[in-house]
């Protein structure tokens, strides 16, 4: 018996929609990363981008547990001296909810070229409308 290895030519991509309204950020992120990576498939191959595309709607209505809104801090650095910028989760949720969800998911993907390709299949929207109806996405309940 030989081990099955999927080739990139044989990958079939499906589309999924995750509604983040009222869900915890970490739960949404882990489910999305799992699907983007392709680990939910029987044909999972670690060195091939065999994952599916994920659409996340209602990113502005995602929840954080505990006192993370005030204590969790997101850092950015411009690369110049004194270029460190700090923002709390509350600021991120109010002003940049899409970036907050994307950062949570991106941190769970591989830090390689393959991980960047997987991240390109992620589409996050602030409200409940998206423009991917032509792909006939399947809805996933958490």
The span from the CA of 79 to the CA of 59, in Å, is: 29
Could you read off the pLDDT tens digit of each residue along the chain, which spans 142 residues?
Answer: 788 899 999 999 999 999 999 999 999 999 999 999 999 999 999 999 999 999 999 999 999 999 999 999 999 999 999 999 999 999 999 999 999 999 999 999 999 999 999 999 999 999 999 999 999 999 999 8
CB 50 within 8 A of CB 11: yes
Q: Output the pLDDT for position 18.
A: 98
Q: Output the pLDDT for position 140.
A: 95
List, for residues 24-37, the tens digit of each pLDDT value.
999 999 999 999 99
Residue 128's Cβ-side half-sphere holds a number of Cα atoms within 13 Å equal to 5
Q: Output the pLDDT for position 33.
A: 98
Sequence spans of domains, the chain? 14-64+97-140
Reference 124, options 142, 104, 88, 99; nearest CA is 99
User: In terms of CATH architecture, what is 14-64+97-140?
Assistant: Alpha-Beta Complex (3.90)
CB 54 within 8 A of CB 140: no
User: Does the pTM of the predicted model rise above 0.85?
Assistant: yes
Q: Output the pLDDT for position 119.
A: 98
Q: Output the pLDDT for position 53.
A: 98
CB 35 within 8 A of CB 44: no
Reference 127, options 51, 47, 55, 31; nearest CA is 55
CB 126 within 8 A of CB 97: yes
Q: Output the pLDDT for position 90.
A: 97
């Amino acid at each position: 018996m030989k081990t099955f290895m999927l080739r990139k030519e044989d990958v079939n991509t499906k589309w999924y929609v995750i509604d983040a309204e009222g869900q915890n950020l970490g739960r949404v992120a882990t489910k999305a990363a799992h699907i983007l990576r392709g680990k939910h498939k029987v044909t999972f191959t670690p060195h091939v981008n065999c994952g599916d595309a994920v659409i996340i709607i209602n990113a502005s209505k995602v929840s954080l547990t505990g006192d993370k809104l005030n204590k969790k801090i997101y850092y950015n650095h411009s690369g110049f001296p004194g270029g460190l910028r700090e923002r709390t989760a509350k600021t991120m949720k109010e002003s940049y909810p899409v970036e907050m969800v994307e950062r949570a998911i991106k941190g769970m993907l591989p830090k390689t070229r393959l991980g960047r390709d997987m991240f390109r299949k992620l589409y996050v929207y602030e409200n409940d409308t998206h423009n991917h109806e032509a792909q006939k996405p399947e809805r996933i309940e958490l």
